[in-house]
Structure 1
Amino acid sequence: MATQKQLIDDALSSGSFPGLPQGHFIDGAYSAAASGRVMNSLDPGRGEAFAEFACGDAADVDAAVTSARRAFEAVWRDTPAVERGRILYRAAALIREQAASLAVVECLDSGKPIGEAQGDVQGAARAFEYYAGACDKLQGDTFPLGPAYLGYSLHEPVGVAAQIIPWNFPISTAARGIAPALAAGCAVVAKPAEQTPFTALRLAEILLEAGLPAGVCNVVTGTGADAGAPLAAHGEVDHITFTGSVASGTAVMKAAADNVTRVVLELGGKSPVVVLGDCDREAALDGVMGAIFENAGQICSAGSRLIVERSLHDGFVEELCRRAEKLTLGHGLRNPQLGPVNSAEQLARISGFMERARERGVEVATGGAETADPQTGKGWFFQPTIVGVPGRDDELVQEEIFGPVLTVQVAEDADHALALANDSQYALVAGIYTGSFTLAHRLAQRLDAGQVYINEYFAGGIEVPFGGNKKSGFGREKGLEGLLSYCRTKSVAARI
């Protein structure tokens, strides 16, 4: 088996990766699109195609859902929980065995630095491991109805669960949805983003190798319009988990409503990082840098709004700018500190925000322009950017940019910081840096966010429920709460 260095060297020299699947994964095997159409997958670090994959449509979706329904009813819902757990454990081990190649594929597809891709692959393995352990702990309650009655509840699998997966964290998001769905006893049809199809396909193949019956996990590739929309609207889908933009999530919810299909939506964010004057300054600086520049800021939960107390503001922002200007840029396989953005369309979106900001006279403290891989002159890159203090209603404060752009706001004290933090249509996560344990937890109670990080941004893991409020969506993934998303509760009351 080739080492990761060999895989990286070969991919950098050839501009491709051998052996990638080219078809959908339906009923335990790869198959071409019903239409015969294919699409290119583009390497963001070069801005060039490196592979082809199937361009699916409603016919392929219907085949996948039919396969999932058959496998659910014939095999998977009645598979003992302990056996489901064993299969998921084996899948976790296989992901770790294949981690080197999965990370390279993830890097080529998404553009992110290989170090970040490696972390995502290990996180995917951990997700399957976590939910493997939960399979045989999914138990109901008994109800105290008195001596003449027996009352109890059951957690039943909801049925066929659709997973519509975004391009920014392909393998992570796939795993955090597929693993709990399978653990609960559901069958799955996954539709990865057309920008990043390959690791979802590889996951399905790994699950089959781990012993998952054919048809329990299917993957259909293609565009959102051609494949995602028919999946969301399919009458045989019992649950939809969607991660993506507010506009797309709204369309998914409308389509689901026609069939009264349940949904979990994880949508956008404009998450605040509150930095107060009594914080550990170095920890806060490190946290703010990671919060906005990891994955080039293309994270729903990115800390894209710095709310810093006035007493700390000047020196803190100056140091952030110095650090941002020293970040190394380059192709993800060279493991830079900042990789490319995922697509030419996303690059144009980020540039549009900055062009409009300059027209309004907004101060750009550092960065603010498109750039390229310094070694090749290729790829879709945007400079690490820090923007001065616009008004509270400015689009840089209120809209999700989804790039390496940090907006700075100044707070007079903790109460002002709280007011600024909650002044958003989004409410996904929030960060707090302060030396006061009491103040941190008082703020955490009052922040409108699905998850709050204290003194470490992105703290937690698969064990911690994740999801948003307001336009950031509803429902929760991860943790045991995420497992219950794929269950329906049945109550039984009997006279005895």
Structure 2
Amino acid sequence: MTAVVNPWIKAYLESGTVPALPDGHLIDGKVVPSLSAERMEIADPGTGHVFMSVAAGGAADVDAAVASALRGFRIWRDTAPVERGRVLARMAALMLRDIERLAFAETVTVGKTYTESCNNVRSAARTFEYYAGAPDKLQGDSIPLGPAQLGLTLLEPLGVVAQIIPWNYPITTFARGIAPALAAGCSVIAKPAETTPLTAVMLAQLLCEAGLPAGACNVLLGLGTVAGAGLSAHADVAHITFTGSPGVGTAVMTAAAQHYASVTMELGGKSPLIALADCDIEAAADGAVAAIYENAGQICSAGSRLVVDKRIHRALVEAITVRAGRITVGHGLRGSSMGAINSRRQMERILAFLDQAKTMGSTVAFGGARHVNSIDPDGWFIQPTLLDDLPIDHPCVQEEIFGPVLSVQVVDGTEDALRAANSTRYGLMAGIYSKDIGAALALARDIKSGQVTINNYWGGGVEVPFGGVEQSGFGREKGFAAVASYCRTKSLVAKVPYSQNARV
């Protein structure tokens, strides 16, 4: 067990209580209760026990948040671009200053390990740092219309935008949506998941400290069916960025369509990690383990399918199994290498997939059951699991499990690997391991996916646009493509006095 150095962790593990964390919405720069006084309980996935409650917003809270954001938008839109950039830069520094507090709150609500949470804070700070350079570089174009007309395009912020944030990566998803929206000059209302509400409020407080005007970033807590649905349907919300399941995404799009709001959809995934026959088996094994067991597999872009050539199938599965056996499962604050599942409901859903696979006679090469931790016996833990040699129509190949379950598909050659990779209705991410870069690039060209990496599954960063195709959604986050989602183009044409005889 690692030594406890974070004072927040020390106090929590000793007392089981969490002092001084925000428990309300953040509206107009202040933490406030729900107007209805409704509240909802928050559980620690690592213990399975409730440790605090927070505000649960209703229709009146939605209206209050939007009204505040409209006021904040008028101020923030007219703030000099260079100053908008400075606010975002200060935000990055403040996040690193408060990394211990933010990482603690991320771990105790999500269930991931403290190390993963610290990395998430650093990644999110880098996101604000990246977009700090954007506001004074959002330039329109001049259009050649001849000497008698002047043609220009202007980039304008959309207005009030909503961010519906998932429970698996609350800090990084907050940053990747809110930073580009603020860079564009929009105001933002964040609606975090009901199980992981704390860090959104904490980050919004830091934005206020960084100099963001009151109302330019509000946080609305509550159930998705109430607060999230209310934001999606609100006539004054110009754009909605949603990360979550395809089913809920469809509901958000339907609500947004009623008032012609634009949307960015980052939905489910069943991403393949493809290991060709010539790949470095040890590197591919490292990549596969990182791709599926980080955050206990609760990642939209997790490499949840291993598409492996039959010539290296046995060697690669054995290498992954050895690595999986080294993973320690337990509470994220106790030094484990894999943490908890975020909710009992999600844990039971994953276990149902595993039970179905066993009933179908599937080979469980490793794991395959709930993990019982002696220190935290009520925690929501699942063993790192590997299901070997599954047919293409197997539910664990076709459906997003969203847990630490790697499904293996055995193929014969590159063409067969391509067919297997493209065999689901998703297309969020894919990874390829091969020593033949030409073959890997040809495969990457033909894979149905929004992003492909070669010999490094988690390659890239905030600079690289991210998003899916088909039922993985549409629109792009990260990179400068994200800023474009929060801008509209206005064309301007002016008649210019013109005399051919006057021109020198």
Q: TM-score, normalised by structure 2?
A: 0.96
Give the corresponding residue for 2:51.
Answer: 50
Question: Quick one: distance in 2 between partners of 1:450 and 1:136?
Answer: 29
Contact 2:120-2:172 at 8 Å conserved across structures: yes
Question: Quick one: distance in 1 between partners of 2:85 and 2:5?
Answer: 29
Say which SS state the counterpart of residue 236 (structure 2) adopts: coil
Say which SS state the counterpart of residue 427 (structure 1) adopts: coil
Map 1:83-482; keep pairs closer than 5 Å.
83-482=83-482
Which amino acid counterpart does residue 42 of structure 1 have in structure 2?
A
| Further displaced range: 178-187 or 7-16 | 7-16
1:66-105 C-alpha deviation (Å, 9 max, x unpaired): 10012212x1111110010011111111111001110011
Map 1:29-68; keep pairs closer than 5 Å.
29-68=30-69
Question: Quick one: distance in 2 between partners of 1:7 and 1:426?
Answer: 40
Which amino acid counterpart does residue 361 of structure 1 have in structure 2?
G
Say which SS state the counterpart of residue 240 (structure 1) adopts: strand
Question: Quick one: distance in 2 between partners of 1:268 and 1:139?
Answer: 34
Q: Per the alignment, do residues 202 and 155 of structure 1 end up closer, same or farther by CA in structure 2, a change over 3 Å counting? A: same
Say which SS state the counterpart of residue 125 (structure 1) adopts: helix
Question: Quick one: distance in 1 between partners of 2:5 and 2:40?
Answer: 27
Say which SS state the counterpart of residue 333 (structure 2) adopts: helix
Which amino acid counterpart does residue 19 of structure 2 have in structure 1?
P
- Deviation of 1:376 (Å): 2.8
Question: Quick one: distance in 1 between partners of 2:5 and 2:222?
Answer: 29
1:377-406 C-alpha deviation (Å, 9 max, x unpaired): 230001110001222111111000000000
Say which SS state the counterpart of residue 19 (structure 2) adopts: coil
- Deviation of 1:473 (Å): 0.3
1:101-129 C-alpha deviation (Å, 9 max, x unpaired): 10011100101000000000011111111
Question: Quick one: distance in 2 between partners of 1:61 and 1:342?
Answer: 26
Question: Quick one: distance in 1 between partners of 2:333 and 2:262?
Answer: 39
Number of aligned residue pairs: give it.
Answer: 493
Say which SS state the counterpart of residue 332 (structure 1) adopts: coil
Contact 1:17-1:105 at 8 Å conserved across structures: no
Question: Quick one: distance in 1 between partners of 2:15 and 2:438?
Answer: 55
Give the corresponding residue for 1:27.
Answer: 28
Give the corresponding residue for 2:500.
Answer: none
Question: Quick one: distance in 2 between partners of 1:172 and 1:14?
Answer: 29
Say which SS state the counterpart of residue 190 (structure 1) adopts: strand
Contact 1:271-1:303 at 8 Å conserved across structures: yes
Say which SS state the counterpart of residue 312 (structure 2) adopts: helix
Contact 2:58-2:227 at 8 Å conserved across structures: yes
Question: Quick one: distance in 2 between partners of 1:13 and 1:457?
Answer: 38
Question: Quick one: distance in 2 between partners of 1:158 and 1:276?
Answer: 45
Question: Quick one: distance in 1 between partners of 2:456 and 2:18?
Answer: 36
Give the corresponding residue for 1:69.
Answer: 70
Contact 1:330-1:374 at 8 Å conserved across structures: no
Contact 1:329-1:374 at 8 Å conserved across structures: no
Identity %: 55
Question: Quick one: distance in 2 between partners of 1:302 and 1:357?
Answer: 20
Q: Per the alignment, do residues 259 and 457 of structure 1 end up closer, same or farther by CA in structure 2, a change over 3 Å counting? A: same
Which amino acid counterpart does residue 374 of structure 1 have in structure 2?
S
Which amino acid counterpart does residue 9 of structure 2 have in structure 1?
I
Q: Which runs of 5 or more residues in structure 1 are unaligned?
A: none
Question: Quick one: distance in 1 between partners of 2:232 and 2:335?
Answer: 36
| Further displaced range: 366-375 or 397-406 | 366-375
Query: 1:18 and 2:43 equivalent?
Result: no
- Deviation of 1:484 (Å): 0.7
1:404-452 C-alpha deviation (Å, 9 max, x unpaired): 0000001111111011101110000000000011111111111111111
Give the corresponding residue for 2:501.
Answer: none
Which amino acid counterpart does residue 61 of structure 1 have in structure 2?
V
Question: Quick one: distance in 2 between partners of 1:430 and 1:407?
Answer: 14
Say which SS state the counterpart of residue 406 (structure 1) adopts: strand
Which amino acid counterpart does residue 401 of structure 1 have in structure 2?
I
- Deviation of 1:178 (Å): 0.7
Say which SS state the counterpart of residue 112 (structure 2) adopts: coil
Contact 1:44-1:343 at 8 Å conserved across structures: yes
- Deviation of 1:49 (Å): 1.1
Which amino acid counterpart does residue 356 of structure 2 have in structure 1?
R
- Deviation of 1:4 (Å): 4.7
Give the corresponding residue for 2:80.
Answer: 80
Which amino acid counterpart does residue 450 of structure 1 have in structure 2?
G
1:136-155 C-alpha deviation (Å, 9 max, x unpaired): 11111111111222111111
Contact 2:158-2:487 at 8 Å conserved across structures: yes
Contact 2:281-2:315 at 8 Å conserved across structures: no
Contact 1:4-1:101 at 8 Å conserved across structures: no
Question: Quick one: distance in 2 between partners of 1:4 and 1:66?
Answer: 42
1:219-246 C-alpha deviation (Å, 9 max, x unpaired): 0101101211001101110000000001
Question: Quick one: distance in 2 between partners of 1:378 and 1:320?
Answer: 28
Say which SS state the counterpart of residue 155 (structure 1) adopts: strand
Contact 2:85-2:131 at 8 Å conserved across structures: yes
Q: Which has the greater radius of gyration?
A: 2
Contact 1:388-1:407 at 8 Å conserved across structures: yes
Contact 1:28-1:208 at 8 Å conserved across structures: yes
Which amino acid counterpart does residue 92 of structure 1 have in structure 2?
A
Contact 1:296-1:341 at 8 Å conserved across structures: yes
Which amino acid counterpart does residue 299 of structure 2 have in structure 1?
I
Q: Per the alignment, do residues 132 and 4 of structure 1 end up closer, same or farther by CA in structure 2, a change over 3 Å counting? A: farther
Contact 1:465-1:479 at 8 Å conserved across structures: yes
- Deviation of 1:375 (Å): 2.4
Question: Quick one: distance in 1 between partners of 2:332 and 2:456?
Answer: 25
Question: Quick one: distance in 1 between partners of 2:485 and 2:491?
Answer: 17
- Deviation of 1:299 (Å): 0.1
Which amino acid counterpart does residue 278 of structure 1 have in structure 2?
D
